[in-house]
Amino acid sequence: MLTREQAADIFDRIRKLSSADETEVLFSGGSFALTRFANNTIHQNVADENHMVSVRTVFGGRTARASTNKFDDDSLRRVVESSEALARVQHPDSDLLPMPDDREAAGRADEGVRSTPVPSRYFAETAAITPQLRADSVKKIVEVAQNHKLTTAGIFSSSESVEGIFNSRGLSDWYTQTLAEVSITMLGADSSGWQKANSPDVSNLDPLGLAEIAAKKALDSTHPAEIPAGKYTVILEPAAVLDIVGFMFWDYSGMAILDQRSFLTGRIGTKLFGENITIWDDVTHPLQTGSPFDGEGMRRQRLPLVENGVVERVVYARGTAARMKASEYKDKVGPIEATGHGFALPNEMGEMPLNIVFAAPQNPQTLAQMIASTERGVLVTRLWYIREVDPYEKIVTGMTRDGTFLVENGKVQRGLRNFRFNQSLIHMLSGVEAMSMPVRSSGEESFDMVVPAMKVRDFNFTEVTKF
């Protein structure tokens, strides 16, 4: 894998080739391997290694980017020429700021991130996972399926990755991470169950435990019954929560407010959700992953986005913060400062919080307690194919999947046919009756988060499918 020293050498070569006023180089990549299984067979098994170098040049307010995965002299010369040629023909952008230096990049994060260092997320044991080790684990997962007369499908992946940034004002930062991930579906004749987990440290994963839970869901949901669509109390497991709430975090962005494409336009400072909802963005959280710096090298701050239901603030890239301070909205959007959440420049989206952590509730309940207190409701394992229906009321649609159950009289009674929902996230987060302790969770519709299970009243199922 590319080292910081090798990257520094490549940056020096690029600087010598560049004639730009300013030059920034991003590094990304690493090695990735994934063993995929279905029908109790490993049917796909892949590994790759790749690193990208991405060069941004600036000439008098004009900027552009070019990238390559080849680090020989000719390739580096070509990528610098491409970046410069693209940059020179841009129109000057009066909002483009000079690149940050190390001191500016530290920002207020000096008080937060660096005094509470990001935990190491590189584990040699994860990096050393072999195809044989993954196959051994899959074999045991398949045995669980066979013991229950089910078939299984899923993945076991492992990776080590780097992210780095160097610029001509002396800024440099570097981050390495490992990640192991297991996702398991168990299939019966007319039912299925699912579980997924990931961690930088493979020793945190329990593939067999996940397999048994997925198998139980498949077994418990055989012969699913159809009940009419309508408003139900639902108990959403953490993966279902993360997948649906993930659709609102693109809007916690200063640029989204300036563009008037955020559902928070005109709503920052108002109580939009229930009193029990508090949400942070926190790259330092021990269950979080990802680099502690953004696309310009700014250190990510730990921020409260929502406190007791009130939307407190959004995140900012440097340029967005400067624009917001000069805008008509400046007095209506809470604190305005670069928070270390910007995407690599140039881009049109600005920034986004990517390390979401829901605060622990005052009276956390286990999933079993939520079920026990439910007279009639629906337990949801997982959601699928979620898309935005209405951007301002934040209505999203999607399906339940791989384990949907009827809860009656405090007990899980039987499996149900899957529902389609059309649900406003504003209404949903205003109707949360109970939450578990937040856990690291992973789904397929959104990025990983630290979220609780939620019991929500009046969740809006609009249709039932055929299985």
Question: Which residues in the 60-99 window bind other proteins by CB under 8 A?
Answer: 63-70, 75, 78-79, 82-83, 85-87, 89-91, 93
Residue 423: CB minimum distance to other proteins, A: 6
Footprint of other proteins on 108-127 (CB under 8 A): none
* Cα torsion 452, 455, 457, 462: sign: positive
Residue 201: CB minimum distance to other proteins, A: 21
Footprint of other proteins on 398-457 (CB under 8 A): 398-399, 401-402, 418, 420, 422-424, 427, 444
Binding mask 129-158 for other proteins (x = CB under 8 A): -xxx-xxx-xx--x--------x-xxx-x-
CA-to-CA dists, residue 420 to 68, 149, 202, 398, 464, angstroms = 43, 29, 35, 6, 6
Q: Among 172-180, 182-190, 308-316, 367-375, which window interacts with other proteins (CB under 8 A)?
A: 182-190
Nearer to other proteins, 361 or 415 (CB): 415
Nearer to other proteins, 265 or 369 (CB): 265
Nearer to other proteins, 188 or 292 (CB): 188
Query: Does the N-terminal peptide bond of residue 346 adopt cis geometry, omega within 30 degrees of 0?
Result: yes
Nearer to other proteins, 18 or 365 (CB): 18
Tokens 């952008």, located at residue: 93
- Alpha carbons 246 and 446: distance in angstroms, whole number: 5
Binding mask 281-320 for other proteins (x = CB under 8 A): ----------------------------------------
Residue 106: CB minimum distance to other proteins, A: 27
- Alpha carbons 204 and 135: distance in angstroms, whole number: 18
**190 interacts with other proteins by CB under 8 A:** no
Q: Among 97-105, 184-192, 237-245, 352-360, which window interacts with other proteins (CB under 8 A)?
A: 184-192
**328 interacts with other proteins by CB under 8 A:** no
- Helices 207-220 and 131-147: angle between axes, nearest 10 degrees: 30
Q: How many residues contact other proteins, by CB under 8 A?
A: 99
Residue 306: CB minimum distance to other proteins, A: 20
**250 interacts with other proteins by CB under 8 A:** no
**231 interacts with other proteins by CB under 8 A:** yes
* Cα torsion 341, 343, 344, 348: sign: negative
Nearer to other proteins, 213 or 371 (CB): 213
Binding residue for other proteins (CB under 8 A) from 9, 47, 73, 190?
Answer: 47
Nearer to other proteins, 74 or 117 (CB): 74
Nearer to other proteins, 283 or 383 (CB): 383
Nearer to other proteins, 200 or 361 (CB): 200
Tokens 């690599």, located at residue: 344
Nearer to other proteins, 35 or 177 (CB): 35
**386 interacts with other proteins by CB under 8 A:** yes
